[in-house]
Structure 1
Amino acid sequence: MRKTIPLIVLLSVAAVAFFYWGKNQNKDQASKQTIKEDATVAIAPSKPWPHSSSDIAADSKTTFGALPNGMRYMIYPNTEPPQRVSLRMHIAAGSLMEADDQRGVAHFLEHMVFNGSKNFTPDELVPRMQRLGIGFGAHVNAYTSFDETVYMLDLPDLSEETVKLAYTVMRDFADGALLKPEEIDKERGVILSEKISRDSVNYRMMQKQFTQLLPQSLLPHRFPIGTEEVISTAPRDRFVDFYSRYYTPQRMTFIVVGDIDPKATEEVIKQTFGDVKNPASPGGNPDLGKIEAPQGIQAALFTDKELSSTDISLLAIKPYTVLPDTSEVRASRMPLSVAHSILNRRFQRITKQENTSILSGSASRSPMFQFVDMGSIDITAKDDNWKDAVKVLEQEFRRALEFGFTADEINEAKANILNAYEQQLKAAATRKSDALATALAQSINDGSVFSSPRTDLDLAKKALDAIDAATCQKAFQEFWQVDGYHLILSTKEAPESSKDELAALYAESAKTAVTAPEQRASQTFGYTEFGPKGSIAKRNDIADLSISQIELSNGIKVNLKRTDFTKNAISMIARFGNGQLTMPKDKPGLNLLANAVYNAGGLGKHSTDELQQILAGKNVEFTLGIGEDAFTLSGNTTPDDMELQLQLFCASLLDPGYRDEAMRQFKAALPMIDQQLKHSQAGPQTKIEAWLHGNDERYMMPPTSALAAYIADDVKQWLTPALTTAPIELSIVGDFTEEALLPVLLKTVGALPQRNAAPTDLSPLRQVKTPDAPARRDETYDSKVPQAVAMINWKTKGLRDNTKESRRLNVLSEILSDRLREEIREKLGASYSPNAGVDGSDALEKYGFISAMSIGKPEDLEKLLDVILNIGDELAAKGATADELDRALKPTLAAMDKTLRDNSYWLSTVMMRSQEKPEILDLARNRKADYESISLDEINALAKQYLQKDNALKITIQSKAEK
């Protein structure tokens, strides 16, 4: 559910801003003249590392260095995955550094560095990367935020050619962009399209709230996407100005993580970036303005009929105090984190009460850009009843200020925080290089010491040991007792006088006495005995895949695979029953209710709240999933908690809670769902999904009034046979030993009642009638945000029992995606992310499509449809080229290699139903060889077979604002 809570949304955007792919190319030839050759300053001091002024030691595996020109670098050797490396270029400059006539240029530049540089013509870089297995999205990406720009490149191998290309690309990003006027002009449409696609009522609301909260700051005027005027008209010199003054060595940090020799890597960095010059007049850091703290309660009202929820936020805003990252500073921040965690749990419990007036609540502290320190307490009102919800906010806030927190609350919060640090340490040996590279980049932006997991745990443990009720309450009071607060109401509609009423209600609520929170009694987990333990009836060890297949004496089938590439992590999933295929046709949407009521309903002996208390500090979970032809229970755990995880699994099968509180929460959220369906693309998408499935009731979204009429017994009647008697295939993968696992498996899962041996014949339920082609479906939704989607679905034979063709269709869709990018993005500038893929079902017979889509303006819909249709038709008539096949296959194969060291691949793709369908194992064995064998003739034959105009379903979605 999307909300308009000011700070939460605001900060999420501030933290990651917008992620944009730089996929730019054309046929012009690049000159060898770069725009920085006149720079003369060769030597500059580098920014000191945070650990140089801290008592916290940096991770000893990290090599920190600086070049004479001021550019810094961080090198971290890591072998997971092996033979791979991740590169990051962090530039300490973003949209805040723009002048008024450059608003949007920082992000625009992120695109332009791909559009012609010293070593690459505009149409050269993307194909060069693809031929080496470097795919966009999979291996190369970038983002621009308010205060940083980060380029990310993950290499699929360490061949000399690949590594050389990567360093050349990163060097060109640093100072080799040509910024040719014609390329800038061609990219304007792409940026404008991206601006449109990012637009939403929540985004617009966030901009308004920024202005309200920080009226004397630069922040509201520097959103990274920029203004339409600048994007459309800014001349080349404004790009050159920003690039020359802010893409400077003193602002750059180059990061290398992977299967590398640090010393050799250090030499390559010096050779690659040592002669990057600093400009004579580098750009400075902007004056961000000042913080205007309110006096008393300063209420504000924001309305928009498209909002999906009514939210109230209390915000404390103060200037940020810049402190070095030391052990004392880290320890000083911990008590407030614990306090906020406790307040979040209190709100969570209130949402489950029978006559609650809130749907959710949270408390947080979020410093931004070393400028502003914000605290936010946020409430989502039930049934838009903000008049009652504001009382909950005020009284729970005051309860925490006056009475603090109980010992049981503090112990639960501390256990969860400590456990998180402990798990990070246990998993440290197999951290993934891309995640490490991103964490290193984040440490630069945070100004924090990149310390080791061991150091982090030791500091956290010491800080947590010092926390008690008094320190927690004191920290909460010191942060939150300020001279005034912003009190913001965001709702669909309300008179202007509502903001005064909001403030009055808050003040009136303060007259109501609050009582101290009650200590909760401790409980123990009530599911540890399940009867006599079972035994192993059959066993089949599959040596080449390192998988053991077991059948227990009660008929439950188990698949085991021990892996060593993610330490201290175990994943598991159980398939049982027949899922959505068996959903009663007279109860469309029952799957939505079933998911909510089962997962939020707890167990017979414990509510979800009680489970959170009991399981604090443990790593156990199970979530019901409703697939097309099976239900699943999936979760993650650790070796230490494996027995508890299996006990929770058995309890979830035998004694689900189906509590009324879960039903109440689901029904309370239905008005929000209604709003989303009416005012976003979600509504049309549900109608199109039903149309593509022949309006089969199992794939329809009913009116929310119908969902509100369902009862818990409807869910029980559907789920109970699957939970109690259906065949189960349980798969477990990760860091375990059979010596430790099998005994607990036999006394938990092995002790469950006997299961049916044979699955049900579902053939009659696997039939749906897809629309006859050619056909067209047009859908609209009510929104003033001008957005549209053009889509073509070409019908195929489907995915079920059709793996060989499906793999080839995947490759064909990659070729189609590349042609869409070249035509719609690069030539027309009509959309920034057109794409294609294979859509279908392995549960339904003959249900499948090659799907291509592009986001654009409503007035461009027909043109986009025609372009997509013609690209498909041309592929059908003339086929692809050998180079296109090569550029589609190489990144696919590179990504495939990576999955072999990913537990989720083995669990979900190979093991999950391997006893039900043994042929899956052979498909896993021959996957790479099969992809490598794909020929151009096969691809072109499929293009000719499917991408014909008379086999196409045209689909459009567009906004139309109702009067």
Structure 2
Amino acid sequence: MQHPPLCKLITHTALTLTLACQAIAVNPLQSNWPQEQSDIAVDATAHFGALENGLRYIILPNAEPPGRVSLRLHVGSGSLNEADDQRGLAHFLEHMVFNGSRNFPNVEELIPEMQRLGIAFGAHANAYTSFDETVYMLDLPNTDTDTLDLTFKVMRDFTDGALLSAEEIEKERGVVIAELKSRDSVSMRLMEQRLHFMMPDFLAAKRLPIGLEAVIQNASRERFVDYYTGNYTTDNMTFVVVGDVDVAKVEARIQHSFASIPKRAADLSPDLGTLPEGYDFRAGVFSDEEVGSDSLSLSFLKPYTPQKDSVAYRNQNLPIQVAYAILNRRFQILSKKEGSPISGGSAGQSYWLKTIESHSVAVTPEEGKWPESVSVLEQELRRALTHGFTQAEVDEIKATLLNSLEESVKRADTRKSRELASGLLNAINEHLVFNHPTESLRIYQLGAPTVTPEACHKALQLAWKDADLNLILTTKAEDSETQSTLHSLFKQSQLVAVSPPELIEDEAFAYTDFGAAGELASKTLIEDLGVVQLVLSNNIRINLKQTDFQKNSIGLVANFGYGKLSQPKDHTGLDLLAAASLNGGGLGAHSNDELQRILAGRNVGYSIGVADDRFTLAGATTPADLDLQLQLMCAALTDPGYRDEALRQFHKQIPAIDNQLKHSLSGASAEMQEWLNGGDSRFAKLDSEQLLTYTEKDVRNWLDSELQDGFLELSIVGDFDPEAAIPLLQKTFGALPKRECHKSELLEARKIHVPPFPVEQRFTYDSKIDKAVAMVSWQVEIEPTEVSKIRRMNVLSSIVRDRLRKKLREELGSTYSPSAGFSANMVFSIGLFTTSSVATSDQVAEIQSHMKSIVENIVKDGISEDEFNRAIEPVKTQLALSLRQNSYWLGTVLSQAHSQPYKLDWSRGRDADYESITVEEIEVLAKRYLQADNAAVIELAPSNPEVAPR
């Protein structure tokens, strides 16, 4: 099942807790809606109600995307509500409701029923468990009666209909343990150690949602039932419906489906324990050789009593939020200076479990430089506490906040139903008023005048006054002196005087004139796709598509040059430095930090990437800022900054990259990719020593000509008027020097000598944690225009994935999330069909055997019409959804539509092609490619794992 990032626990602030010694209790259930006692206007389109049995519901009509509905069931309990012998059962129960219920007693019935209606397990049906909530999610492809009947029946069963049979619990134990092991990592283990160090008597430190293996393995059925009946009660659940619905009809459905749930009250008052206090300052060190990079943080934590949601409540934290945002900017700037020992830093405030308020400042030291970083952390915080902030700093952050809120208002009418459902869940769990973006803007505008440099300074001083501080270092190695050294370095730093922040003068954007506007060489309207294609007099190609399903939003991507096709031979990783140099080096006239100040409050930006056959220059903007966005992109092409700070920042990341490749699955995977690509240096495993030899000259030798005159094709999709955009394009992109008018094939550069199959391969990495991957792959011939084959191979992968789920997860309980997929590299004509699953080393051979057997059975016996339909219906669900996504039109259809015009035909015929796919076609492909003599049996595994208990 899906899980949030430890449900707001593992923020950098919560990881470095310092606690005041008081007993804390979970907040009691709230039967009323927050808006009933608030001066904040609730979103008028949302309908709130409650059944006589106490179950609450919210219905929010929303027409984007049309015909779609998102259902959510919120249970106000999680791992904090478990007893000692139930640790992990809140999450385990989330699995079990899918494994047999009142209306679906056959465990093999529910998922196939949903698949037949276009609802895929995982993509459209999922759940998550955290400390204080459990959430079930269904996203419906339509509002047909059959779809609504099934999904309302499913959600009702989740509330009180789970059978929790002893047999199914036994089978699922292995799946949950496999999930626990798949999530095991050094960072997770260190996080647990920090929590136990800082809050040894606080319940949350002993209640991570994934639970304990011993409990998962041995808990009796009765303990599952106890948790289920004690927490899934009508006064503790809220049902949410968001989408293209009629409120009255949905309300009647809710009454019909949920009114018969027996009224029960939950006992939700666990003792959260006690929190230490009065120690003033302490230092803690946590180490492991597999840590990717050092981290250093200073934090404190204090009890928090939730307040009623109100205008005053929301605005009271504005000054401290702005203060921390300024600190973030200062760390960002400082990290790039020559000689700086840090690669980044952050500061912030957070609330955890509605009972704790946490404040934290953290930095990431450069490899081996944590001692020098202590003074940076301490003095930058003290500089702000002593001297405060400048007006320019405050204005920059306020402009960014205001712009974000204004944009939310402009885009409100085309918010997606899934997005709104997530907002409602947050409001439910945090006891907040669910309001429209216009109300958020109004609230901010009331509070903004009080946010002055003086107010921000005072808020920061007040927050840190008399706090018990925790200084926490996480590093690769420590000795008996590390902790005392950390402590003394901090105390020594406190004796150093700090100067006020530097005053910075305002600058104007330097790139508004690129010369004489270019002429329009040709203009073509492609009516059936709603696309306008232009050719400018300097040979630049442009694709334009106006859409209305994401208001006030425009996406842009310029593809230019040849990407990895032109990468110098044996320069492995130069593509990483190229992207880092262009993105981190700013422009000739402005550094990145200067750009951020100059462009504060505007909706512009860019990022440059290296693809297999092109470089990409991407951005996002609004109609009002389209001209500025085009100017910015042209400046990135014509005057990249190539600043030393970009190279310094890149070099600081290399040790972390190296350590990750050495101690994680990504290292074994990198070796596998190098092997699969025939040892081609463009896809080789990175070598840190080689990366450190690269300079700006290496990047410029490769990129300068491609930036200046390489073939360029710009695509723009979104809420804009193409006719009004043409003059803007002519005076920006059209004013650039002439560029190549066509792309060369570079046929030699496209040749990759893939390894011969069949074969067995094992790739290893160095880790104590036994996390392996079992894989079987088959090579598939693919040509650049064979999209029809790709579509059919994707359907075949869905069928294989479902068989893997039934065999490995449902029947054997040996793995959590087995997968099958097809990857097609159209540039290098490489196709690979792969089955994979995370496992422990001793499971790999058995899982690989099952994978081969499942595929052999498909090759030998074929597939049924039913499993074909269950595979293709969820695909069709996604197809319809993609047509109302700018990302589909920009990335799949229009990107390179001039140089690869067949992509337009791919779009025209896509849905009809999927409708025409037959069982026989899928079987032919399986028999052609998924043969034993075309298979690579691959294992990724630690070379010497320890049996290391958590």
Tell me which interval the TM-score lies in, with the shorter structure as reference length.
over 0.9
Among 203, 206, 212, the alignment partner of 1:227 is 212
Shift of 1:535: 2.0
Find the residue that maps to 1:129 and give its secondary structure. Answer: helix
CA spacing shift, 1:11–1:869, aligned 2, 3 Å:
same
Shift of 1:45: 9.8
Among 914, 937, 942, the alignment partner of 2:925 is 942
Find the residue that maps to 1:876 and give its secondary structure. Answer: helix
Residues 1:455 and 2:458 are matched in the alignment: no
Among 189, 194, 214, the alignment partner of 1:204 is 189
Residues 1:319 and 2:316 are matched in the alignment: no
Q: State how far apart, in whole Å, the 2-side matches of 1:155 and 1:611 are.
A: 43
The letter for the 2-side match of 1:917 is: Q
Residues 1:403 and 2:387 are matched in the alignment: yes
Residue of structure 1 equivalent to 2:511: 527
Shift of 1:278: 2.9
Shift of 1:366: 1.2
Find the residue that maps to 2:773 and give its secondary structure. Answer: strand
Shift of 1:679: 0.6
2:379–2:498 contact (8 Å) kept in structure 1: yes
Residue of structure 2 equivalent to 1:119: 103
**Unaligned ranges ≥5, structure 2:** 16-27
- Write out aligned runs for 1:269-280 (5 A): 269-279=254-264
Find the residue that maps to 2:439 and give its secondary structure. Answer: helix
Residue of structure 2 equivalent to 1:425: 409
Shift of 1:499: 1.3
Q: State how far apart, in whole Å, the 2-side matches of 1:891 and 1:232 are.
A: 34
Find the residue that maps to 1:384 and give its secondary structure. Answer: coil
Q: State how far apart, in whole Å, the 2-side matches of 1:468 and 1:644 are.
A: 29
Find the residue that maps to 1:321 and give its secondary structure. Answer: coil
Residue of structure 2 equivalent to 1:888: 871
Q: State how far apart, in whole Å, the 2-side matches of 1:367 and 1:961 are.
A: 41
Q: State how far apart, in whole Å, the 2-side matches of 1:145 and 1:254 are.
A: 18
Residues 1:611 and 2:574 are matched in the alignment: no
Q: State how far apart, in whole Å, the 1-side matches of 2:730 and 2:689 are.
A: 46
CA spacing shift, 1:909–1:12, aligned 2, 3 Å:
farther
Q: State how far apart, in whole Å, the 2-side matches of 1:698 and 1:483 are.
A: 52
Q: State how far apart, in whole Å, the 1-side matches of 2:655 and 2:278 are.
A: 34
Residue of structure 2 equivalent to 1:10: 10
Residues 1:955 and 2:938 are matched in the alignment: yes
Residue of structure 2 equivalent to 1:28: none
Residue of structure 2 equivalent to 1:476: 460
Residues 1:310 and 2:310 are matched in the alignment: no
Shift of 1:13: 12
1:625–1:633 contact (8 Å) kept in structure 2: yes
Deviations 1:60-107 (A, max 9, x none): 111011111111111111000001111110110000000000000000
Among 665, 685, 698, the alignment partner of 1:681 is 665
Among 842, 845, 848, the alignment partner of 1:865 is 848
Residue of structure 2 equivalent to 1:144: 129
CA spacing shift, 1:818–1:13, aligned 2, 3 Å:
farther
The letter for the 2-side match of 1:159 is: D
Residue of structure 2 equivalent to 1:161: 146
RMSD between aligned residues:
1.6
Shift of 1:156: 0.3
1:9–1:206 contact (8 Å) kept in structure 2: no
Residue of structure 2 equivalent to 1:444: 428
The letter for the 2-side match of 1:932 is: E
Deviations 1:559-583 (A, max 9, x none): 0000000000000111111101111
1:295–1:483 contact (8 Å) kept in structure 2: no
Residues 1:722 and 2:703 are matched in the alignment: no
CA spacing shift, 1:249–1:243, aligned 2, 3 Å:
same
Shift of 1:744: 1.2
CA spacing shift, 1:11–1:668, aligned 2, 3 Å:
closer
The letter for the 1-side match of 2:45 is: K
The letter for the 2-side match of 1:892 is: V
Among 251, 270, 282, the alignment partner of 1:286 is 270
The letter for the 1-side match of 2:328 is: N
Residue of structure 1 equivalent to 2:808: 824
Among 779, 798, 808, the alignment partner of 1:795 is 779
Shift of 1:285: 2.4
Residue of structure 1 equivalent to 2:172: 187
Aligned length: 929
**Unaligned ranges ≥5, structure 1:** 16-43
1:138–1:895 contact (8 Å) kept in structure 2: no
- Write out aligned runs for 1:424-823 (5 A): 424-798=408-782, 800-823=784-807
The letter for the 1-side match of 2:275 is: I
Shift of 1:7: 12
1:311–1:380 contact (8 Å) kept in structure 2: yes
Q: State how far apart, in whole Å, the 1-side matches of 2:252 and 2:622 are.
A: 40
Q: Identity percentage over the alignment?
A: 46
Q: State how far apart, in whole Å, the 2-side matches of 1:756 and 1:308 are.
A: 43
Residues 1:177 and 2:162 are matched in the alignment: yes
Deviations 1:626-665 (A, max 9, x none): 1101111011100111000000010010000111000000
Q: State how far apart, in whole Å, the 1-side matches of 2:9 and 2:425 are.
A: 22
The letter for the 1-side match of 2:899 is: E
Moved more, 662-671 or 761-770: 761-770
The letter for the 1-side match of 2:109 is: E
Q: State how far apart, in whole Å, the 1-side matches of 2:754 and 2:486 are.
A: 52
TM-score with structure 1 setting the length: 0.95
Moved more, 433-442 or 757-766: 757-766
Q: State how far apart, in whole Å, the 2-side matches of 1:589 and 1:232 are.
A: 45
CA spacing shift, 1:697–1:46, aligned 2, 3 Å:
closer
The 4+ residue runs of structure 1 with deviation greater than 6 A are 5-9, 12-15
Shift of 1:826: 1.0
Among 291, 296, 299, the alignment partner of 2:280 is 296
Q: State how far apart, in whole Å, the 1-side matches of 2:358 and 2:53 are.
A: 36
Residue of structure 2 equivalent to 1:74: 58
2:604–2:625 contact (8 Å) kept in structure 1: yes
1:6–1:209 contact (8 Å) kept in structure 2: no
The letter for the 2-side match of 1:661 is: E
Find the residue that maps to 1:684 and give its secondary structure. Answer: helix
Residue of structure 2 equivalent to 1:921: 904
Moved more, 914-923 or 926-935: 914-923
2:13–2:359 contact (8 Å) kept in structure 1: no
Deviations 1:36-68 (A, max 9, x none): xxxxxxxx9971111111111111111011111
TM-score with structure 2 setting the length: 0.96
Shift of 1:293: 3.1
2:742–2:899 contact (8 Å) kept in structure 1: no
Residues 1:902 and 2:882 are matched in the alignment: no
Q: State how far apart, in whole Å, the 1-side matches of 2:280 and 2:229 are.
A: 46
Q: State how far apart, in whole Å, the 1-side matches of 2:611 and 2:129 are.
A: 37
Residues 1:64 and 2:48 are matched in the alignment: yes
Among 52, 55, 73, the alignment partner of 2:39 is 55
Shift of 1:876: 1.2
- Write out aligned runs for 1:351-362 (5 A): 351-362=335-346
Shift of 1:294: 4.6
Q: State how far apart, in whole Å, the 2-side matches of 1:151 and 1:903 are.
A: 28
Find the residue that maps to 1:10 and give its secondary structure. Answer: coil
Shift of 1:767: 1.0
CA spacing shift, 1:443–1:46, aligned 2, 3 Å:
closer
Q: State how far apart, in whole Å, the 2-side matches of 1:248 and 1:504 are.
A: 53
CA spacing shift, 1:150–1:8, aligned 2, 3 Å:
closer
Deviations 1:800-850 (A, max 9, x none): 2211111100000000100110111111111110010011201113x1111
1:81–1:898 contact (8 Å) kept in structure 2: yes
Residue of structure 1 equivalent to 2:238: 253
Find the residue that maps to 1:581 and give its secondary structure. Answer: helix
Residue of structure 1 equivalent to 2:22: none
Q: State how far apart, in whole Å, the 2-side matches of 1:795 and 1:13 are.
A: 47
The letter for the 1-side match of 2:891 is: S
CA spacing shift, 1:825–1:643, aligned 2, 3 Å:
same
Shift of 1:857: 1.0
Find the residue that maps to 1:780 and give its secondary structure. Answer: strand
Shift of 1:6: 12
Among 329, 333, 345, the alignment partner of 1:349 is 333
The letter for the 1-side match of 2:918 is: S
The letter for the 1-side match of 2:536 is: L
Residues 1:415 and 2:399 are matched in the alignment: yes
Shift of 1:480: 1.6
